[in-house]
Amino acid sequence: MSQTKDIREAVEAELTFDPRMDQTNITVRNMNGEVALSGTVPSFPQYLGAAAAARRVAGVKNVHNHLKVVLPPGDYRDDAMLTTMANDVLALNITVPDGVEATARNGDLRLTGTVSYGSQASAAELAVAGLTGVRSIQDEIKVAYGADPVDVTRAVQDALDRYALFPDDSDVVVDTSANTVTLTGHVATWTEHDAAVRAAQMASGVVEVFDDLNITG
């Protein structure tokens, strides 16, 4: 059996195994570890969950998520209602600072405002992602914080050195220009990949993270 078929079938099995997923209308394609998901899912959490499930499979190097969210009739919310719901959730979330706002249009949520850390913008996305009626999220939140690039690089590298996931001979390199971090090197799994990206996003002063990591599988 070819590796292409092995990976495709493994991703399909993982989608079936995850009780949160309705994989009925999902098509999986694989080309040398580059997995593409197409079709439809009934909610935005399932859109995110399908990609996460594919990344858990050994041998998957990248996931191209082409899924579309097609809401069941009972899950539609008008623009005013969804806007109010989203802003209420943001206001109640202690990790999201004041000033972050949501605007809904046909199920698409647009987030705006200014935060001090990239992790706060991620928290805002996570806070509204599970709301009924959300089809997609457009993050236009700005990160306004100044920090010495040398300090940022050191902080992220120190975090990676602390993580048990990364071996002592890890070749992951952190490079900071202004407030943008670029990660390069190799990781064995998506778990290592996601841990590195999260570490960069959490560092004080980081506005954007460019991910150039290669997953060896």
pLDDT tens sequence across 34-85: 999 999 999 999 999 999 999 999 889 889 999 999 999 999 999 999 999 9
Domain holding 105: CATH number? 3.30.1340.30
| Separate counts of helices (H) and strands (E) for the chain | 6, 12
pTM here? 0.75
Domain end residue (candidates: 22, 52, 69): 69
Instruction: State how many domains the chain has.
Output: 3
pLDDT above 90 coverage of the chain, percent: 55
DSSP 213: E
In this structure, the answer to whether residues 160 and 135 fall within a common structural domain is: no
Question: Which of residues 110, 126, 143 is at a domain's end?
Answer: 143
The whole domain housing 179 covers 149-215
List of residues 6+ apart from 124 with CB closer than 8 A: 90, 93, 96, 100, 111, 113, 115, 139, 141
**Domain limit, last residue, from 128, 143, 158:** 143
Assess whether 9 and 60 both reside in one domain: yes
- Same-domain check for residues 10 and 39: yes
pLDDT in tens, 122-136: 899 999 999 999 999
Residues 36 and 15 in one domain: yes
Tell me: do 77 and 134 sit in the same domain. yes
Helix 118-129, helix 79-92: angle, nearest 10: 130
Same domain, 116 and 167: no
Please check whether residues 100 and 58 belong to one and the same domain.
no
In this predicted structure, what is the pLDDT of residue 189? 86
Residues 57 and 97 in one domain: no
Q: In 10 A of CB 36, how many CB atoms?
A: 16
The answer to whether residues 153 and 139 belong to one domain is no
**What is the pLDDT averaged over residues 114-123?**
85
